[in-house]
Structure 1
């Protein structure tokens, strides 16, 4: 994808620009991102779907790659955002959804998935075969990780040859822990060493060329590393540039490549800008945006409690927790607290396991009723100020309305502002 190749080329020439990768399948987050980009006059918006969210079996969203493309483009059409300014990526594409199967079977399914992503129009492909399948040694040897990544790249290139459009670009490497945030305490987080980062890149380069994939290697734009940023349920490790100097410098001599940073959710504005400056130029954000969505919906629920008479309230918070308790599969393995501490985790954990529950029909019905209540009876700015101060600022500056959807998107946009500031340091919009 030429626009990403050009962006990386500018960064390599010394222009400290980057790109935000929005990793979410929630329609309000997607719409907020598009409207934010329109206001900021961004030339590109990058959305990524993970292998667990979207795959040929439907993933936990129920969407195939083709479905996800139609989903994003449908929202773009509704908000009058040009399709040619949208880039789509696949994150952690590999056997991860099928690790309970043997490696041969899981890799067969991963090949089908990667090909489906490319055929659907995804053009940023993260090849990640770092996870062990049934019967594999743990951890999986790097040589085997590379061999499997090459296999998936071959499948992606074949799918591209059979389709139209621009050639895909690739991202290699992975980070520990898995995306979505750490599930345990994050004490003692270790940065990727410069030696390990360069060894991973070199191993992939040699294997790509030996497999006849040199043209694809010229389109590898980034490698995923751990620059010292992470979050768990209630804590964040902030980026410390002084600790990452050697790692940052290591990529400078590698042609055409930057680092991709995962788990940048909840970093400060200054930390995000420092990451981009230090060549971690692709910033992935996912739970941080759905966490902001949850904050906005909880605030609107609180406004409803103050403003709407009890018999007519939607009670969204209560409905969500009821459904989470009735269907604990998405959080039970991650939250190990009990009693009140568990309730705090379910509501407020930074890993935001709640994001898996928004499509639930009962929850969506309650959300729609909440929005209808506040549309029929718009709240005063005093209540908006109390519970949604970022949205009030947007309302009074003219970039939001009193409509509850607009208020929720304004709150999400405040988070996106920090990423825009980091990736577009010269932009005064």
Structure 2
């Protein structure tokens, strides 16, 4: 039984445990996640989404093999045990090729699955819920399940041919589809037990072929909407009462748990409640990169106090310039007048700025910022103005006065909330930061 399966098994045997899935490629986010996993003695699940990483490179420019090697290199350089790493693929299916006819889109999806499984990704989220160019809207549930089963068959064959352990699977999807942000104005509907039962049964039937029987036994989770989401400026927090029927439905099912997407910005109490109510896999992404952006903006404010103007990184202005020059990652998502758009580009909770940090001009600005604050070490009294939690850790001697240490601790403070929610009642859990 793998580390991931053992956590799911423990949850199904009554332990209030789960696992946080960090969906991100940002190196400092991943290093912070490793710090948190080390602090709490847990495995670390890192996932790449189908638009981030694919056989053509995705928006990160990385194939699954390259992403795997990138994560392994970070772990080894950071002293994190690679045997405690779990790699997952999120929304694997025709998502990136929806504008193509279904046959072509699914051909790409099959190659996507082959690439992920051959690279050793253990956790595979099969998501064929999106309609392609010649598909009906919405796509019938039976078609979704049939396409998912086809991809599972590819995954099983690929693992066997590569001599790798067979993957575990997650089925189902959430609303909105990956890459979008829903407005919370109209409220948020929790998945009904009837809808969850239908998804589960239709997939069970699609996996009923003899060659998929073993794969069906490795379906560990189903994605549902527990009633949590966020938009650009607000968060819909978890309501256990609203999700009570869905939670009770899960208790009658063998083996599986729920996977909750869009749990970013939930309170720690809500995260604990989600795990208790069988949403044992909690996905986080934008909240982590938002913490990264907050930390960089804080460092830029410190730089303004300590560094001569001609030598400053001008990081905040550089980010704005990059986003204006190449608006494709935010233009279809942010709306309003120029002032509203300016604020959204910088501060929206959906954090479309996360797509820009890899651009050469911004990477150079970050390097300048870090170098400046290593040359002009900020006094704790100034750190306290913009990063009060990190300043407290410095005063207590728990955190060194290095700009990247400040950044990672800021991110880790957010991710530690997930660790405490998921690792509660497990041996080795340490007191919270």
The two structures have a TM-score, normalised by structure 2, of 0.97
- Specify the SS of the correspondent of 2:401: coil
- Specify the SS of the correspondent of 1:234: coil
The equivalent of 2:249 in structure 1 is: 250
What CA distance in whole angstroms lies between the structure 2 residues aligned with 1:109 and 1:253? 37
Contact 1:316–1:366 under 8 Å retained in 2: yes
What CA distance in whole angstroms lies between the structure 1 residues aligned with 2:161 and 2:96? 26
Contact 1:261–1:282 under 8 Å retained in 2: yes
Residue 362 (1) aligns with residue 361 (2): yes
Residue 94 (1) aligns with residue 93 (2): yes
The equivalent of 1:206 in structure 2 is: 205
The two structures have a TM-score, normalised by structure 1, of 0.98
What CA distance in whole angstroms lies between the structure 1 residues aligned with 2:181 and 2:397? 38
- Specify the SS of the correspondent of 2:373: helix
Deviation at 1:395, TM superposition (A): 2.6
The equivalent of 1:13 in structure 2 is: 13
The equivalent of 1:36 in structure 2 is: 36
What CA distance in whole angstroms lies between the structure 2 residues aligned with 1:2 and 1:348? 39
The equivalent of 1:168 in structure 2 is: 167
Q: Deviations over 1:86-111 (max 9, x none)?
A: 00000000000011110000000000
Correspondences of 1:118-267 after superposition (within 5 Å): 118-180=117-179, 182-210=181-209, 212-267=211-266
| Structure 1 vs Structure 2 CA RMSD | 1.1
What CA distance in whole angstroms lies between the structure 1 residues aligned with 2:305 and 2:185? 38
Q: Deviations over 1:213-248 (max 9, x none)?
A: 010011100000000000000010000001000001
Provide structure 2 residue ranges, at least 5 long, that are not aligned to the other structure. none
Contact 1:223–1:259 under 8 Å retained in 2: yes
Deviation at 1:211, TM superposition (A): 5.6
Residue 114 (1) aligns with residue 116 (2): no
Contact 1:180–1:287 under 8 Å retained in 2: no
- Specify the SS of the correspondent of 1:162: helix
Contact 2:229–2:237 under 8 Å retained in 1: yes
Aligned length: 428
Contact 1:130–1:174 under 8 Å retained in 2: yes
- Specify the SS of the correspondent of 1:130: coil
Residue 25 (1) aligns with residue 29 (2): no
- Specify the SS of the correspondent of 1:224: strand
The equivalent of 2:430 in structure 1 is: 428
Deviation at 1:321, TM superposition (A): 0.3
Provide structure 1 residue ranges, at least 5 long, that are not aligned to the other structure. none
What CA distance in whole angstroms lies between the structure 1 residues aligned with 2:398 and 2:14? 33
Runs of 4 or more, structure 1, over 3 Å off, are 183-186, 396-399
Summarize the Cα distance change of 1:211–1:326 in structure 2 as closer, same or farther, 3 Å threshold.
Answer: farther
Summarize the Cα distance change of 1:118–1:398 in structure 2 as closer, same or farther, 3 Å threshold.
Answer: farther
Residue 316 (1) aligns with residue 315 (2): yes
The equivalent of 1:302 in structure 2 is: 301
What CA distance in whole angstroms lies between the structure 2 residues aligned with 1:188 and 1:35? 36
What CA distance in whole angstroms lies between the structure 2 residues aligned with 1:2 and 1:41? 16
Deviation at 1:35, TM superposition (A): 1.6
The equivalent of 1:340 in structure 2 is: 339
Residue 409 (1) aligns with residue 408 (2): yes
With 255-264 and 416-425 compared, the bigger mean Cα shift is at 416-425
What CA distance in whole angstroms lies between the structure 1 residues aligned with 2:396 and 2:218? 42
With 351-360 and 389-398 compared, the bigger mean Cα shift is at 389-398
- Specify the SS of the correspondent of 2:162: coil
Residue 273 (1) aligns with residue 275 (2): no
Q: Deviations over 1:77-136 (max 9, x none)?
A: 111111110000000000000111100000000000011100001000000000011011
- Specify the SS of the correspondent of 2:90: strand
Contact 2:180–2:333 under 8 Å retained in 1: no
- Specify the SS of the correspondent of 1:417: helix
Summarize the Cα distance change of 1:182–1:326 in structure 2 as closer, same or farther, 3 Å threshold.
Answer: same
Contact 2:223–2:260 under 8 Å retained in 1: yes
